[in-house]
Structure 1
Amino acid sequence: MLHRRKLAEGAEKLRVLVVEDEAMVAMLIEDMLIDCGCGAVSVAGRMDQARQKLDSDTYDFAILDLNLSGEWTYPLADKLLEKGTPFVFATGYGSTLLEGVYASVPTLQKPFQLEDVERVLREVRGGAGLETPPN
């Protein structure tokens, strides 16, 4: 039997921003985050949308596609760093392109699975575990 997994206590309060230009990938990531029990997931498919969301809202975590329709998302990463919001880059390029201050930012290597999203959420929450509801 398949169980819906969720983060331990407090996950329902996590507000997550997903910046991804591929609609199907964005929906998949959103579904994964919801399956992990995150409270609110906001999706932006363009840089201007993402900037607006970052200016008008507060997030606990963000997943940034490294290359958004041919534009690097480093300006968004800078804004997240300024706000102290943890984030990861999602990329098919690998982490070798990350330099300077970005070299230590975790990456989700595309294509990734639910377990990968759970791992980065655990890291963001300081190692808090995941719970699997009983049968």
Structure 2
Amino acid sequence: MTNELDGLRVLVVEDEMMVSMLIEDMLTDLGCTIVGPASRLDEALTLARELELDCAVLDVNLGGQPIFPLADLLREKGAPFAFATGYGDAGLRDVDRGAPVLQKPFREADLARVLGELKIKAGV
């Protein structure tokens, strides 16, 4: 059986190592290709500029630094993304409302559903 997410290149941006590892394990189980992961904003911006990716899963807050410059860059590139946060959409800017939000903690099924939506938006 072929998974619809096989080969989907997903940028992972998460500053908590254990959470990042959990997301990576889920992505591997779903057949995705992991880009990164990045735990700092500058690192994530470099990856987004230099590597091919289809979509991204973004922690809203990286060690007190908001992820919004990366969200803006991804929007410019036409790469859809989802936010991963424990705060729902409460911490998002108006321009980011409507982007998928993975409420932490989330399950693999939740991640798969959101990635399916992002894949459609990315047209891959």
Give TM-score, length-normalised by structure 2. 0.90
CA RMSD of aligned residues (A): 1.7
In the alignment, the residues of structure 2 paired with residue 55 and residue 108 of structure 1 have an alpha-carbon distance, to the nearest angstrom, of: 24
How many angstroms apart in 2 are the aligned matches of 1:41 and 1:55? 12
Aligned equivalent of 1:112? 106
2:19 match: 25
Superposed CA offset, 1:6-31 (max 9, x none): 632xx332111000000010000001
How many residue pairs align between the two structures? Answer: 121
Q: Provide the secondary structure at the position in 1 that maps to 2:21.
A: helix
Structure 2 residue runs without a partner (length 5+): none
After superposing the two structures, state which structure 1 stretch, 29-38 or 94-103, moved more.
Answer: 94-103
Deviation sequence 1:67-94 (CA, Å, 0-9, x none): 0000100000000000000100000111
Letter matched to residue 24 of structure 1: M
Query: What is aligned with 2:86?
Result: 92
Task: Indicate conservation of the 8 Å contact 1:61/1:124, yes or no.
Answer: yes
| Contact 1:6-1:36 at 8 Å conserved across structures | no
Correspondent of 1:48 among 42, 48, 71: 42
CA distance in 1, matches of 2:64, 2:83: 15
Q: Greater CA radius of gyration, 1 or 2?
A: 1
The offset of 1:66, in angstroms, is: 0.2
Percent of paired sites with the same residue: 51
> CA separation of 1:67/1:12 partners in 2, compared to 1, >3 Å: closer, same or farther?
same
Return the TM-score normalized by structure 1.
Answer: 0.83
